[in-house]
Amino acid sequence: MSWSWWWGWIRCTTWAMLSLGAVACKQPSATNQFWLGPLAITPTARAGDESSLVDRGALAQKARAQLLQAGIFAGEVPESSKPGGAVATIRITLSMEVVRADGKAAVRAGVRLNVSTRPAGVAPQHFGEDVQANAEMLYDPEAQPDKKDVVQRLAERAVGDLLAGYVARQKLWSAEPRTLHAALAASGEMRLEAIRVAAARKLRDEVPTLIGLLSDDEETIRDAALGALVELRDPRAVPALTKSKSMKDGREMRKIIDALAALGGQEATDYLSFVADAHEDEEIRNMAKAALSRQRSRTQVGTAFR
């Protein structure tokens, strides 16, 4: 099992409303423009769905305006146009449910945002997303008898928050280093994206922060930070990994072994040799031996080409 099994930049499905601040952004360059193309809002058509109460035309208009004002697109183009650069297609799937009990009522929204780009390979991969969120709004049926109005307001809020999260994550890719550093120190979805950006932009000044995240309470954050350090090939991560308290945790040991094998160096080799000889789990010992074998092969290849 290679470290890429768990280190991949797959978007997480988010079942919570996103609350994200604005960050600095640069406009797309003239040589690599990114255009806003078709935007469609469709209901889920599942039983009990009351998305028919939503004015989807008005909601789509608000969504387009929000995206265009965000500054990540060079402008908008009709579906039939083929401008230079990439075009984003936005698909928003909406489900609405109205629940009543004991004289009280609530509207619940489920929103899925899918962003795809064309032609393939023109826009950076991070522009493509597939995320989801839920939202809820309580209301008094007697004070607010117009159910349609309540449903519309929640739909607009839920879609707006999900789009705001998308925009904020995209802006991180062109943010100033201090903005990115602040995102790494914060919690939530922005931190995951910031880890990805730090690796992709080769921001080695953030290595100490990434090393600190190896002991985060959230496994997703720990895995992302470890993957970023491997991507950066920074040897400063090796001491932190060799001092890990995960020797008895087979799942964590697999990650550590794969990461050390990729990072290399004498300290990593010494640790892998110790695990290969002394770990109580035969599978872990064999993984460490295989990692050492990969290291030796790379060293031999490197020596042959000097």
At residue 100, the pLDDT reads: 84
| pLDDT given at position 5 | 33
Band of the pLDDT at 44, cuts 50, 70, 90?
Answer: confident
CA atoms within 13 A on the CB side of 99: 9
Q: Over 50: is that where the pLDDT of 305 sits?
A: no
Residue 201 near residue 184, CB atoms below 8 Å? no
Q: Are 34 and 127 in contact (CB under 8 A)?
A: yes
Pick 62 or 120 by higher pLDDT: 62
Characterise 149 by phi-psi region: left (phi > 0), alpha (psi -120 to 50), beta (else): alpha
Q: What angle do CA 177, 223, 113 make, to 5 degrees?
A: 75
pLDDT at 26: 38
* Domain assignments of the chain as residue spans, ordered by start: 11-26+33-171, 175-234, 236-306
CB of 63 closer than 8 Å to CB of 159: yes
| Average pLDDT score over the chain | 83
Q: What is the pTM of this model?
A: 0.78
Q: Is pLDDT at 16 greater than 70 in this prediction? A: no
- Quote the pLDDT of residue 281: 84
Structure tokens at 282: 């035969």
Tell me if 172 sits within 8 A of 182, measured CB to CB.
Answer: no
Residue-wise burial string across 197-211, b where 16 or more C-beta atoms lie within 10 A, e elsewhere:
bbbbbebeebbebbb
Residue 18: its pLDDT value, please? 33
Kindly report, residue by residue over 24-39, the tens digit of the pLDDT.
Answer: 333 444 335 899 999 9
What CATH number labels 175-234? 1.25.10
* Higher-scoring residue by pLDDT: 80, 150: 150
Q: What is the pLDDT of residue 300?
A: 57
127 has a pLDDT exceeding 90: yes
Q: So what's the pLDDT on residue 164?
A: 97
Residue 245, pLDDT score: 65
Alpha-carbon torsion angle 160, 161, 166, 170, nearest 10: 100
pLDDT value, residue 60: 97
Q: How far apart are CA 19 and CA 228, in angstroms?
A: 25
Token pair of 268, please? Answer: 């990593």
At residue 296, the pLDDT reads 77
Give the pLDDT mean for 141-152: 84
CATH value of 11-26+33-171 in 3.40.50.1010, 3.30.160.150, 3.40.50.300, 3.40.50.970: 3.30.160.150
Specify the pLDDT at position 224: 94
pLDDT at 8: 38
Q: Taking a C-beta distance cutoff of 8 angstroms, is the pair 14, 161 a contact?
A: no
61 pLDDT band (50/70/90 cuts)? very high
| The pLDDT of residue 298 | 67
Least confident of 12-16, 34-38, 145-149: 12-16
Contact 148, 98 (CB under 8 A): no
